[in-house]
Structure 1
């Protein structure tokens, strides 16, 4: 973080806590050697892993399985010019263990676009970073209007 840029760095625990407050984020992966970003609904697992549920036949499931991805979620208040953003970077994998799949079917995220055959994708949180912009903060000596 740059000094005096108006943002506060967030610790890992605070980042994971904030992720429980929003149901939608964005997964960033590689598609044809270029970055691709897709909005997804998600849930955090008990170990802090990000869980997605998608069609087993989806391009997303094939593209991210056993790949390093980034996942970002945020909350922004455009009126008060405040908010936060959290990025989780780590290895994504389709959950294949039958016992784990059964557990996630009960506790994991529900698909917003259900399909006949779905899989869970787990993103192991290797790197968790975040930052917050508090309302009324002065940027570069200029006070923002309320």
Structure 2
């Protein structure tokens, strides 16, 4: 990448602030040895981990519990050719009913579910970049 290519790296604090301002991102994980991407609504918890709610029996839960995954969110304006993208990489863990507070504080799923669980993705590595426009 050229030094003056329109992209600017973002620090961790800026990345987390931007993530907190959007409702939807994408979980990137491995399913049957192939890459998979799933859009989900989410929120950040107090320690800046990503929280998402899904069905306990979903393919996503079976594939990511205990695995290292990536989570990406972005926002772009095609008219100005500007925007940002943030990637969080970390271990995904399931929070069960014993994790009471987190279950109440997590996001509501946009999909109805009776057996929902929360997934936490630790924000071990947070990177981002901003496109400043043409």
What TM-score does the superposition give when structure 2 sets the normalisation length? 0.95
Alignment of 1:27-38 (within 5 A): 27-38=27-38
Number of residues paired by the alignment?
Answer: 134
Q: Does 1:132 align with 2:130?
A: yes
User: Which whole-Å CA distance do the structure 2 matches of 1:126 and 1:109 have between them?
Assistant: 21
- The answer for the alignment partner of 1:120 in structure 2 is 118
- The answer for the alignment partner of 2:86 in structure 1 is 86
SS at structure 2 position matched to 1:66 = coil
Gaps of 5+ in 1: 136-143
- The answer for the alignment partner of 2:39 in structure 1 is 39
Cα offset, 1:105, TM superposition? 3.2
User: Which whole-Å CA distance do the structure 2 matches of 1:3 and 1:97 have between them?
Assistant: 49
Structural RMSD (CA): 1.2
